[in-house]
Amino acid sequence: MSQESNLYNIGVVERETGIGKDTLRVWERRYGFPVPVRDQNEDRLYPGEQVNRLRLIKRLLDSGMRPAKVVGLQEQELNALLKEAPNPHSDTSVELLEFMQLIKSHQGVELRVALSRALMRQGMSDFLSRTIAPLSMLVGDAWLRGEIRVFEEHLYSEQVNSVLRTAISTIRHASGTPRVLLTTLPGEEHSLGLLMVEATLSLCGAHCIMLGVQTPIGEIVQAVQAHKVDVLILTFSSAMPTRQVRSGIEQMRNALPEPVAFWVGGSGVQKQSNDELGTQVMVTLSDLNDAVTSWREANSARNG
């Protein structure tokens, strides 16, 4: 992080707000905001106050407002608009709110125990769709609003990772099909989506090879070949700029050997179609079940 008197470089601002570098530059020219200062190398640096305003702007854009209506407004005006915007979490369950309270009060052990109990009660499939998916959205929105800090978001992620890894170890299929490689491209640091995919695929009887996050494309290709992989899955969070997502997918698709299937998922691609990205998009976890079934049917037909 480049930080001088609470100044942040453009890469940090992109990660903190989910607004791409190119978009920030266009807004600067078109709307006069944000207003970065320049360091000795003429690189842009953004004051913390502007980063906070950009988070509010991102929330309003996600609610459907257009940039021309909100970019450049002062923080007080942005907060007033947010109060009028529909609350996407108005029907949040009491249990999810209790999980959020544990996160905000820094009760990591208690959070892990509560999540483990929910998993035992609901079963893996419902736990992922009814608890982890909506809870992760709550945590992400709270972080964008400044209601939780980065370390609290990390606390949540670590507890969920611990619960899911323990559960996955009991249902892993060493000889299952298809053989699926899971990772993210450089720049994508979020691992929770990968774990949710691994858990879902393990329930389907697939064999998963987890590489973790930020694997270079050349290394992914080598791993695909070394592990005799049938399917490659990449996940993208909403923090990844759309342009970077599309470029990464195109490069990966061109480098991937035939006949390996290529699937992508995560909030960073959910609003895009198969045709737009040139590959199969998993919008929900249930899409993975259908994709595995289709792969098996097609593979059976080829071998039959």
Tens of pLDDT, residues 279-302 = 888 878 888 888 999 999 988 877
Residue 100 φ then ψ, to 5°: -60, -40
pLDDT of residue 195: 93
User: Rounded to whole angstroms, what are the CA distances from 96 to 63, 114, 162, 200?
Assistant: 22, 11, 18, 21
**What is the distance between the alpha carbons of residues 33 and 24, in angstroms, rounded to a whole number?**
8
**What is the distance between the alpha carbons of residues 205 and 200, in angstroms, rounded to a whole number?**
9
Tell me if residue 183 falls in helix, strand or coil: strand
Q: Which of 77, 189, 150 is nearest to 142 (CA)?
A: 150
DSSP H/E element including 47: strand 44-47
Most confident option among 44-58, 97-111, 278-292: 97-111
Q: Would you place residue 3 in the very low, low, confident or very high pLDDT band (cuts 50, 70, 90)?
A: very low
Do 60 and 70 meet the contact criterion of CB atoms below 8 Å apart? Answer: yes
Do 194 and 141 meet the contact criterion of CB atoms below 8 Å apart? Answer: no
> What is the reported pTM?
0.72
Dihedral sign for Cα atoms in the order 230, 271, 191, 130: negative
Average pLDDT of the chain to the nearest whole number? 87
**What is the distance between the alpha carbons of residues 121 and 115, in angstroms, rounded to a whole number?**
10
pLDDT of residue 2: 42
- Residue-range domains of the chain with CATH: 7-84 (1.10.1660.10), 94-169 (1.10.1240.10), 179-303 (3.40.50.280)
* pLDDT surpasses 70 at 86: no
Over the stretch 126-159, which tens digit does the pLDDT of each residue have?
999 999 999 998 888 787 667 788 899 999 999 9
pLDDT of residue 16: 80
Helix axes 192-203, 150-169, angle to 10 degrees: 20
Q: Would you place residue 89 in the very low, low, confident or very high pLDDT band (cuts 50, 70, 90)?
A: low
pLDDT of residue 4: 46
* pLDDT surpasses 70 at 5: no
- In this structure, of 32-36, 57-61, 100-104, 263-267, the range with the lowest mean pLDDT score is 57-61
More confident residue, 186 or 144: 186
